[in-house]
Amino acid sequence: MTATAVPPRERGITLHAVTKSFGGNHVLRGVTADLPADRIYGLLGANGVGKTTLMALICGHTFRSGGQILIDGEDPVENAAVLRRTCFVHEDQRYNDNFTVAQVLAPGPAYFPNWSAETAERLARRFRLPPKTASKKLSRGQRSALAITISLASRAPYTFLDEPYLGLDASARSILYDEVLTEYVAHPRTIVLSTHLIDEAADLMEDVLILEDGVVAVHAEVDLARRESFIVRGPQEQVRALIGAREVLTERHLGNLLTATVRGQASDADRALAHQTRLALEPATLQEFVAAIGVRSHDRSDIA
Task: Restricting to residues 108-137, name those near other proteins by CB under 8 A.
Answer: 108, 110-113
Q: Contact between 236 and other proteins (CB under 8 A)?
A: no
Q: Contact 291/275 with Cβ under 8 angstroms? A: no
Task: Restricting to residues 62-91, name those near other proteins by CB under 8 A.
Answer: 62-63, 78-81, 83-90
Q: Contact 162/186 with Cβ under 8 angstroms? A: no
Which of 103, 238, 277, 285 touches other proteins by CB under 8 A? Answer: 103
Q: Give whichever of 6 and 134 is closer to other proteins, judged by the CB atom.
A: 134
- For residue 200, the minimal CB distance to other proteins (Å) is 24
Residue 218: strand, helix, or coil? strand
Instruction: Give me the sign of the Cα torsion angle 293, 6, 50, 190.
Output: negative
Q: Contact between 254 and other proteins (CB under 8 A)?
A: no
- For residue 192, the minimal CB distance to other proteins (Å) is 14
Q: Contact between 40 and other proteins (CB under 8 A)?
A: no
Q: Give whichever of 119 and 297 is closer to other proteins, judged by the CB atom.
A: 119
Distance CA 212, CA 293 (A): 7
Which of 35, 150, 260, 292 touches other proteins by CB under 8 A? Answer: 150
Distance CA 263, CA 22 (A): 32
Question: Which of 6, 90, 1 shows the shortest CA–CA distance to 51?
Answer: 90
Residue burial 74-95, b: 16+ Cβ < 10 Å; e: rest:
eebeeeeebbebbbbbebeeeb
Q: Which residues bind other proteins (CB under 8 A)?
A: 56, 59-63, 78-81, 83-90, 93-100, 103-104, 106-108, 110-113, 150, 154, 156
